[in-house]
Amino acid sequence: MTEILSQSEIDKLLRDLYSGELNENELNKQKEERKIRVHDFRRPSKFSKEHIKALRSIFENYARLETNYLTAYLRTLVQIDVLEVEALVYSDFVNSLANPVIFCIVNFSPLEGNIVFQMSPNIVFAFIDRILGGKGVAAERERDFTEIELVIIERVIVQMLNSLKEPWKDVILLRPVLERVETSAQFAQVVSPNETVALVTFNVKIAEVEGMLSICIPYITVEPIISKLSTRYWVSNKEKQGDSKFKEVIEAGVEKTKVPIDVILGKTSITVSDLLGLQIGDVLPLDKKINSELDMLVGGLRKFRCTAGIHKNRIAVKITSKVGKEDE
C-alpha cells in the first residue's frame, strides 16, 4: 500500500510550500529516493494474497455490472474500473478521506458486521446533476450536501448495493442493507482503528467527471467465509455446479422420454397346421383366467402385475404389484 496522508498533513504541506518553508527541490529529491515502508511483524495482514486476488475477481465482476446499470439508469456513458485491492488498517482508510464525503454504513447480512460504501463528492454531484436533467457535471465549489441531494443519492446507492448479490453468489447469498449515510467519516466508527480491512478502490467516470468509489470490508465481517475467498474453492464449486446441472439436464431428458407399455393378456401354443387354418371367428383359449393377474411390460421388460377392467368406458388395467429384478 502507498503511504496515505491525512487531510491535516496535506494542508500543512501546502502551507509550508506556499510560505517557502518547504523547498520544491527537496520534494523532488524525496521522490527520487527509494521509498521504504515500515512493516510491523507483530501485526501481520489477515488477508492473504489469495484472498485479495479473490476479492479483485469479485469486484471486477461488480464493476462490469455497475457500469451497465448506471449507464442505463443515468442515460449517459459511465465507466467503472477496479484500481486497487489492498489490505490496511481502518484508521488509514478513514484518515485519507476529506469532508464532505458520502460515507455509507452497510449491513452485510447474513454476515454479522458492516462494510463501508464510500463515494467522492464530485462523482455524487455528477450523478445528482444527471438525475435532475443536467449533463452530469460536478459542483463548481466544495460544499455540503443538501437533504434533497442525500435522498436522491441514497436511492442510487441502494440499487448499487443490490448489485453486490450477483458477484458474491458463489461465496454467499448476500442481503446488503443500507443502514445510514454520513457526510463525515470521522463520526462513523464501524470497527476499531487498528482493525484490518480490505479496501477496494474504483475509478468512476461519468461524462467528463472522474472520481473514486471505495468499498471497505473489515476482516471480522468476512471471517466466517474467509476460506471461500480462494480460487481453489471457486474451481471446486464450479465443478460441482457443472456436474449438478449436467445431471439435471440428463434427468429432465430421461423424464420426457416416451417408453412403450404392453399388457400380456395371455399365451397359448398351437401347431403350424392350426395356425394356417385359423379363420375369422375362431376362439383361442389362453393360459390366463378372467380374474388372473396379467404381466405389464415396460420397454420390453416385465415390471408390474395388473388386473384388467373398465375405466370411463375404456379398457384399463390396475397395477397390483411390482416385479422384482430377479423376476424380470
Considering the chain, what is the average pLDDT of its residues? Answer: 82
Grid cell for residue 228: 471461500
Indicate whether 217 belongs to any domain: yes
Which residues form the domain of 172? Answer: 42-240
What's 145's DSSP letter?
P
Quickly count: other Cβ atoms within 10 Å of residue 95's Cβ: 18
Average pLDDT over residues 119-124: 91
pLDDT class of 244 with cuts at 50, 70, 90: low
pLDDT class of 143 with cuts at 50, 70, 90: confident
> Do 56 and 176 sit in the same domain of this protein?
yes
> Do 97 and 84 sit in the same domain of this protein?
yes
CB 267, CB 91: distance < 8 Å: no
Question: What pLDDT, on a 0 to 100 scale, did the predictor assign at position 201?
Answer: 94
Indicate whether 180 belongs to any domain: yes
Grid cell for residue 281: 371367428
Indicate whether 46 belongs to any domain: yes
Query: What's the CATH code of the domain at 137?
Result: 3.40.1550.10
Indicate whether 247 belongs to any domain: no
CB 182, CB 119: distance < 8 Å: no
How far is residue 269's CA from residue 259's CA, in Å, rounded to a whole number?
29
What sections of 40-180 are H helices per DSSP? 49-74, 90-95, 121-131, 147-162, 165-168
Question: What pLDDT, on a 0 to 100 scale, did the predictor assign at position 221?
Answer: 92
Question: Following DSSP, what letter does each residue of 12-78 receive, concatenated?
Answer: HHHHHHHHTSS-HHHHHHHHHSPP-----TTS--SS-HHHHHHHHHHHHHHHHHHHHHHHHHHTS-E
- CA triplet 66, 72, 73: central angle to 5 degrees? 85
Q: Considering only 37-41, 66-70, 127-131, 179-183, which range has the smallest mean pLDDT?
A: 37-41
Question: What pLDDT, on a 0 to 100 scale, did the predictor assign at position 1?
Answer: 45
> Do 47 and 13 sit in the same domain of this protein?
no
> Do 28 and 105 sit in the same domain of this protein?
no
> Do 317 and 215 sit in the same domain of this protein?
no
User: Residue 89 phi/psi, 5° resolution?
Assistant: -95, 155
Question: What pLDDT, on a 0 to 100 scale, did the predictor assign at position 268?
Answer: 87
Q: Which amino acid is residue 99, in one-letter code?
A: N
Indicate whether 256 belongs to any domain: no
Average pLDDT over residues 60-64: 93
Q: Which has more pLDDT, 279 or 30?
A: 279
Average pLDDT over residues 278-286: 87
How do strand 196-206 and strand 301-311 relate by DSSP bridges?
unpaired
Question: What pLDDT, on a 0 to 100 scale, did the predictor assign at position 66?
Answer: 92
pTM summary value: 0.60
Question: What pLDDT, on a 0 to 100 scale, did the predictor assign at position 31?
Answer: 52
Grid cell for residue 285: 383359449
> Do 29 and 168 sit in the same domain of this protein?
no
Indicate whether 255 belongs to any domain: no
Is the confidence at residue 262, as pLDDT, over 50?
yes
> Do 71 and 214 sit in the same domain of this protein?
yes
User: Residue 167 phi/psi, 5° resolution?
Assistant: -70, -20
Query: What's the CATH code of the domain at 292?
Result: 2.30.330.10
How far is residue 13's CA from residue 19's CA, in Å, rounded to a whole number?
10
3-class DSSP state of 235: helix
> Do 211 and 235 sit in the same domain of this protein?
yes
How many angstroms from the chain centroid is the CA of residue 69? 15
> Do 207 and 70 sit in the same domain of this protein?
yes
> Do 212 and 314 sit in the same domain of this protein?
no
- The number of folded domains in the chain is 3
CB 123, CB 211: distance < 8 Å: yes
Indicate whether 276 belongs to any domain: yes
Indicate whether 248 belongs to any domain: no
Is the confidence at residue 7, as pLDDT, over 90?
no
Quickly count: other Cβ atoms within 10 Å of residue 191's Cβ: 20
Average pLDDT over residues 141-145: 82
How far is residue 227's CA from residue 229's CA, in Å, rounded to a whole number?
5
Question: What pLDDT, on a 0 to 100 scale, did the predictor assign at position 114?
Answer: 93
Question: What pLDDT, on a 0 to 100 scale, did the predictor assign at position 98?
Answer: 83
Q: Which amino acid is residue 85, in one-letter code?
A: V
The tens digit of pLDDT for each residue in 189-215 reads 788 888 999 999 999 999 888 989 999
> Do 190 and 288 sit in the same domain of this protein?
no
How far is residue 112's CA from residue 124's CA, in Å, rounded to a whole number?
28
pLDDT class of 273 with cuts at 50, 70, 90: confident
Question: What pLDDT, on a 0 to 100 scale, did the predictor assign at position 138?
Answer: 80
Is the confidence at residue 108, as pLDDT, over 90?
yes
Any residues with CB less than 8 A from the CB of 78 and at least 6 apart, and which?
66, 67, 70, 71, 204, 205, 206
Question: What pLDDT, on a 0 to 100 scale, did the predictor assign at position 42?
Answer: 47
Question: What pLDDT, on a 0 to 100 scale, did the predictor assign at position 202?
Answer: 95
